Amino acid sequence: MFIQQAFKARTEWWRYLVGLIIVFLGWQLFGAIPFMAALFFEAGPEVLTLTQSEMFKVLDSNLNFFLLLLTFAVGLAALFFVIRFLHNQKIKDATTSRKKIDWGRFFFGFSIVAVFTVVTTIIDYNLQPEDYLWNFDMVPFLILAAIALIMVPLQTSFEEYLFRGYLMQGIGVLAKNKWLPLVITSVIFGGMHIFNPEVEKLGYIIMFYYIGTGFLLGIMTLMDEGLELALGFHAGNNLIGALLVTADWTAFETNSVLKDVSEPTAGLDILLPIVIVYPVFLFLMARTYRWNNWKEKLFGKVYPPETLKYSEEI
């Protein structure tokens, strides 16, 4: 099983505490230095008086997008350092229970959410064209596309390796069950988005969407015994979203094809994905990869196999 992979590594509780401190410093301190330096260069000391939403509007859209995603790239490097040297674990074992990473699963997860996002956006654009502005500008869009293709997968991989990989395995081996890491990582993942501009605009009800998304990705990981589907799904969701539609009140305002100018509402738009769309995604994955034994995979115990030893090579 995927969580059981952690028993090949060093799993003392203090290692996870130290590891999280290292990752946080890499992500939120060292990773943020270029972004903060650019803000000071552009706006001077007054930047300290700005809200987070206002900070996102100081720089050129593409530069802002790149520097924000750079913080996650630095965080990912710090996380891989922690996994490799603090826990003595193979990156492969933090990714999947299979003999090697299954990239077919990654692209399947990427494709289903990408196709869904494009199709639903086209339908909504044709039904309610007054809600959109044509925002396409060739040169800025091509620069955005180049940045997004490289940086968005790094951003989403950081979040997946941190929550569905590192913490899912760590909490699982310490708690000796699967439901607790699923719940904790999903709630923390959702809580991480609490400072997003979307929360300021729509209110705290949108946290149900973020936490629900955390549960979706966590269920994918536990049922499929690996991160590949979640890695692909998360990357597809964020990449297509960044290239296709932007709005003035989102975390990433980009030079996308369309701009949503409608007044957002917090209601069915938030609940429908959780209660209808997400179960459909899980159904498609379950049929494709023949998932079974749901109760055991989501609520079963985690036992340390006696035959597993500390990993000697990475």
List the chain domain ranges: 3-299
d(CA 36, CA 8): 39
Q: Is the pLDDT of residue 310 over 80?
A: no
Q: Is the pLDDT of residue 187 over 80?
A: yes
pTM above 0.85, yes or no: yes
Least confident window among 50-54, 238-242, 288-292: 50-54
Q: Is the pLDDT of residue 196 over 90?
A: no
When pLDDT is cut at 50, 70 and 90, the band that residue 217 belongs to is: very high
Averaged over 9-15, what is the pLDDT?
94
> pLDDT tens digit string along 266-281?
777 788 889 999 999 9
b (16+ CB within 10 A) / e for 255-283: bbbbbbeeeeebeeebeebbeeebeebbe
- Let me know: does 222 contact 292? Beta carbons within 8 Å: no
Q: Is the pLDDT of residue 286 over 90?
A: yes
Averaged over 42-51, what is the pLDDT?
75
Averaged over 286-300, what is the pLDDT?
96
Q: What's the whole-number average pLDDT of the chain? A: 91
When pLDDT is cut at 50, 70 and 90, the band that residue 308 belongs to is: very low
